[in-house]
Structure 1
Amino acid sequence: MNFSDLQIENKLKKSIELAEFKTPTPIQSQSIPISLTGRDILGTAQTGTGKTLAFTIPMINKLLKDKNAMALIVCPTRELATQVMATVLKLNVREIGIGNALLIGGESMQKQLRKLGKRARIIVGTPGRINDHLKRKSLNLSKVNYLVLDETDRMLDMGFTPQIEEILNYVPKDHQTLLFSATLPDNILSISQKYLNNPERISVGSLSTPIEKIKQETFEITQDKKYHELINQLVERSGSILVFVKTKHGADKIVKRLKFDGHKADAIHGNLRQSKRDRVINGFRNGNSRILVATDVAARGLDIPVIKHVINYDLPQVPEDYVHRIGRTGRAGKEGSALTFLTPSDRSMWNSISKLIDPNYKPPQRDREQKRSFRGRKKGKGSFNRNKRFRDNKKSNFKEKKKLFKKDDDRKTSFNGKKNFKKKNDNRKKNFKDKKKPFGYTNNPQYFGKKDDENPRSNDDRKSSFKNKKKFKNRKRPKSFKFKKFKKR
């Protein structure tokens, strides 16, 4: 089958020839004839199989037939939206002349408003920016009858579900929907049941296995030696290389070190402005920089045919992202290679990735033995129980000492002796209490030996003396009283 055999408008056939698209890929040959009939499609295929052209050709054909119709293509990332628009522009030459607008974050809002004001009928954008225009009322989707959700699984992973549902509220119910996804989890199936009308299910190849022409390798290494091995791999390999890391900070850090070591490298991640992203990608395409260090934001939708090698410096957070990472090489039937660095802490994630690619995969014997050894350890065994053993020894020694105390008869007698000593002390205390305590305290030796009756003053006398003191308060001084001043002679 060729594109010329399709039942499409002649203008579109000419533009396909000018764009040098010759033979359709399996996903294109299966989905294009069905979508031309107006049916909804639920399509799944690996990355780099030509999904973009599979929904772009029927879209332009529909807009050529219906002059009032509109099309909306929703993509997860700015890069993918930009590349979809590039494919649209390849087909939408001057002879066709359908107005279009690219609505993505990081670009001038005024430029987008001007595009929308020129009656744009093809809208390509990301969920966030499309919703911004809907809130501003600068975008009207009431005439959209062709809707494409590209890389839907990625959009759901990125948390765009509320935005997508908000967009679908503005789209008329009577429209054709094409949903494309690299994987098919349960949330995709639930969305297809909710928004697709009796869709045709199209699947090309396995959803989880990478493209066969990609040579996959692993390299076991420790974390501190990763960068030195990366340098070795960059020297040994020829051609452009895409290096995947875990964080934005890690990408910038590696690029800084690579530039210091004399390598041409650039970083791409979520913190870059759109203009900077475009410059980085164009520079990599044109060969200005041989190495591109990226986070998972570039794992999907980055269509750069020149990528010959992919190096997974860090493993992805989700097993499915591994397939999309290495899918950046081996595009359009070309050969490619993928190298993955594995540290001891990556073992469980690598097992999950291997199981995704091959459901019959079983972890190596040593991994299973390690799991058993951790689960099957009993108390008191192994190096981990050294402290416990020390505590147990202390307890046993303490118990033995107790037994010794119990067996020793001499110690019993000594304890009884202590009891007798306590009794004597108690008797002495009682005798001391019985003695009458003298009133007051004195150091006069004549006082000792006197009888109690000889006490000079009793309590009653003291009380009366205190009463007499009140008389002094009422005594008045004469008015003419003055202190005499004594002068020194």
Structure 2
Amino acid sequence: MMNFSDLNIENKLKRSIELAEFKTPTPIQSQSIPISLEGKDVLGTAQTGTGKTLAFTIPMLNKLLKDKQAMALIICPTRELATQVMETVLKLNIREIGIGNALLIGGESMQKQLRQLKKRARIIVGTPGRINDHIERKSLNLSNVNYLVLDETDRMLDMGFTPQIEVILKFIPKDHQTLLFSATLPENILRISQKYLNNPERISVGSLSTPIEKIKQETFEITTDKKYHELINQLVERSGSILVFVKTKHGADKIVKRLKYDGHKADAIHGNLRQSKRDRVIRGFRNGNSRILIATDVAARGLDIPVIKHVINYDLPQVPEDYIHRIGRTGRAGKDGSALTFLTNSDRNMWRSIQKLIDPNFKTFQEIEKNRSKKNTKGKKSFNKKKSFRDKNKFFKKEDKKNSSFNKNKKFSKKDDSKRSDYKDKKKSFNKDHKRSKFKNKETTAGYTNNPKYFSKKQENPIENENFKEKSFKKRNKFKNRKRPKNFSFKKHKPK
């Protein structure tokens, strides 16, 4: 399909496509639209910004023009994406077609939505939560739906909408056409496609994990405390609209306050804003009222703003796949774009996961070094100290036998065995005599021991020896038997 005019569709729809100035189809559109017009189920995957919305909108309108009783339901993960899908529908659904529609999203007036549904809306675009609310209120009847679109399905599953989607599908007739579009194709998407799609045609355009080639990607290594100052430098250096992604809602509001204080026009968009406020922020950003938009991952997917020239990842995403969707907000519809990512020490593991997602063959410097060391050691035997020592001994023993120079006793040769034996005997006897002489002259003294056999023997104690007693107490014995007179008195000395 080279042109939309080549399609086998209703003339009214062809005129509306011309008025909307859609001329050349994108690869996903040229492959999926002819299959969808045949009534087959489609499992389509393509990068963000490749025109998936128009790929399911044209077959939907053609089917509703042919069957006046038919209904179409388009389920989107976020309010922003649902609003953008409805804008694309309204571009084609002009007065000549005039099919009733309703946008069912949270944050907007329930009464307004009820009025739209009462006007026999045949095109329903909404988020899972608000669609379920209307089903419970019995204000939404899905019994005539024969065209179902699940847009950004991987995002819906990540956000935990699986139970709500299953509830909605219970109210849709079994005989219907289903188109499932996604930017990535994880295992849970394949399980859902097997469960709810009937022999779908698989359409894949480009690499699912590689960003658009026209987006220039850069990284900037920095510490956390200097991130804001570098952000200011980047905002001054770059021209055009800039989308800055942060991790938290509080962080988005905080940065906006600081930027406004520093004289920059900035707004924030996150989940805590009312729908009217979110619409006003996006409208002001599109119109150029604010040059800088600080956003959480709620705006990472489906935000189609062609004026975005630069994307700055102030914080890394929580999921590696979200990096691709973030930078996909720039470089829309074949235009050039740039993406800058701030990297701190704490971001190393996540950044490694992102690089492996983009390039499965990516290897870090440490992994390359490990592989090199393995290659170098391959084929070499591991060094064993014991083994080498034994081998050494064997070597020297052999040498001893061969060469007499290694023999310690050079005086005797191998032939003179008798002399050697005499020498050994003399040496032994000399050593024995020497030991005996040592202990002969040595005086034995009493000491301490823990040998129990020692106490059983009667040891000679020099103190207990009788001779020793006689010698030591000889002087005392002199005065032992001396008798004193009973009456003893001193004589007074009289001077002459």
The TM-score with structure 2 as length reference comes to 0.74
* Corresponding position of 1:442: none
1:80 deviates by 0.2
* Corresponding position of 2:136: 135
Greater Rg over alpha carbons, structure: 2
User: How many Å separate the matches in 2 of 1:14 and 1:337?
Assistant: 36
Letter in 2 for 1:66: D
Alignment of 1:340-355 (within 5 A): 340-355=341-356
1:367 deviates by 10
Alignment of 1:250-329 (within 5 A): 250-329=251-330
User: How many Å separate the matches in 2 of 1:52 and 1:241?
Assistant: 24
* Corresponding position of 1:18: 19
Does 1:111 pair with 2:104?
no
* Corresponding position of 1:439: none
Would you identify which runs of 4 or more consecutive aligned residues in structure 1 move more than 4 Å? 366-369
Letter in 1 for 2:354: I
User: How many Å separate the matches in 2 of 1:266 and 1:170?
Assistant: 40
* Corresponding position of 1:423: none
Letter in 2 for 1:96: I
**SS of alignment partner, residue 234 of structure 1:** helix
Per-residue CA deviations over 1:169-213 (Å, capped at 9, x if unaligned) read: 000000000000000000000000000000000000000000000
Q: How many residues align?
A: 373
Would the alpha carbon gap of residues 367 and 113 (structure 1) be closer, same or farther in structure 2, given more than 3 Å must change?
A: farther
User: How many Å separate the matches in 1 of 2:188 and 2:367?
Assistant: 36
* Corresponding position of 1:459: none
Per-residue CA deviations over 1:294-333 (Å, capped at 9, x if unaligned) read: 0000000100000000000000000000000000000000
**SS of alignment partner, residue 322 of structure 1:** helix
Which ranges of structure 1 fall in alignment gaps of 5 or more residues? 373-408, 413-489
1:368 deviates by 7.2
* Corresponding position of 2:399: none
**SS of alignment partner, residue 304 of structure 2:** coil
Which ranges of structure 2 fall in alignment gaps of 5 or more residues? 374-446, 451-496
1:119 deviates by 0.0
1:365 deviates by 3.7
Would the alpha carbon gap of residues 367 and 110 (structure 1) be closer, same or farther in structure 2, given more than 3 Å must change?
A: farther
* Corresponding position of 2:5: 4
1:251 deviates by 0.3
* Corresponding position of 2:435: none
User: How many Å separate the matches in 2 of 1:32 and 1:358?
Assistant: 30
User: How many Å separate the matches in 2 of 1:357 and 1:73?
Assistant: 30
User: How many Å separate the matches in 1 of 2:254 and 2:247?
Assistant: 12
Would the alpha carbon gap of residues 366 and 144 (structure 1) be closer, same or farther in structure 2, given more than 3 Å must change?
A: closer
Alignment of 1:67-146 (within 5 A): 67-146=68-147
User: How many Å separate the matches in 2 of 1:178 and 1:365?
Assistant: 44
User: How many Å separate the matches in 1 of 2:369 and 2:70?
Assistant: 59
Alignment of 1:161-200 (within 5 A): 161-200=162-201
* Corresponding position of 1:447: none
Alignment of 1:434-473 (within 5 A): none
1:363 deviates by 1.3
Per-residue CA deviations over 1:389-438 (Å, capped at 9, x if unaligned) read: xxxxxxxxxxxxxxxxxxxx99x9xxxxxxxxxxxxxxxxxxxxxxxxxx
User: How many Å separate the matches in 2 of 1:275 and 1:364?
Assistant: 49
User: How many Å separate the matches in 2 of 1:364 and 1:248?
Assistant: 35
* Corresponding position of 1:246: 247
User: How many Å separate the matches in 1 of 2:58 and 2:367?
Assistant: 52
User: How many Å separate the matches in 2 of 1:315 and 1:306?
Assistant: 23
Letter in 2 for 1:185: P
**SS of alignment partner, residue 305 of structure 2:** coil
Per-residue CA deviations over 1:85-113 (Å, capped at 9, x if unaligned) read: 00000000001000000000000000000
User: How many Å separate the matches in 1 of 2:365 and 2:249?
Assistant: 33
* Corresponding position of 2:476: none
* Corresponding position of 1:152: 153
* Corresponding position of 2:216: 215
Per-residue CA deviations over 1:46-76 (Å, capped at 9, x if unaligned) read: 0000000000000000000000000000000
**SS of alignment partner, residue 96 of structure 1:** coil
User: How many Å separate the matches in 1 of 2:90 and 2:210?
Assistant: 32
User: How many Å separate the matches in 1 of 2:368 and 2:265?
Assistant: 39
User: How many Å separate the matches in 1 of 2:119 and 2:357?
Assistant: 47
* Corresponding position of 2:425: none
**SS of alignment partner, residue 217 of structure 2:** strand
